[in-house]
Amino acid sequence: MENVMKIECPTELLLGLHVNAESLAKIVKLEAAIALFRKGKISSGMAAKWLDIPRITFLLKAMEQGGMLLEDSEDDFRRETTLL
């Protein structure tokens, strides 16, 4: 069973960003996955599964946005390397 969320968006936002609703939904989904991953709420594997992309692709996309992906801790390192 899939859960679907509905987010209201003014037409002006879509026009200003030069995207349609489907494209904006993909952008928001990616941004949410990266933010949840960075906050330690979900793993990179869960984020990749949610986005339906390979884990390495997710990590590369997250790195492209700048900032640290992981805190400098052994727990984060172990969590992210156990599936490699």
Q: What is the pLDDT of residues 2-53, one digit of tens each?
A: 898 899 999 999 999 999 999 999 999 999 999 999 888 999 999 999 999 9
Model pLDDT, residue 64: 86
Instruction: Reply yes or no on whether the pLDDT at 72 is more than 60.
Output: no
Length of the chain measured in residues: 84
Model pLDDT, residue 63: 87
DSSP secondary structure code for residue 10 in this structure: -
Q: At what angle do helices 21-38 and 55-64 cross, to 10 degrees?
A: 90
Instruction: Reply yes or no on whether the pLDDT at 71 is more than 60.
Output: no
Top mean-pLDDT range of 2-6, 47-51, 56-60, 72-76? 47-51
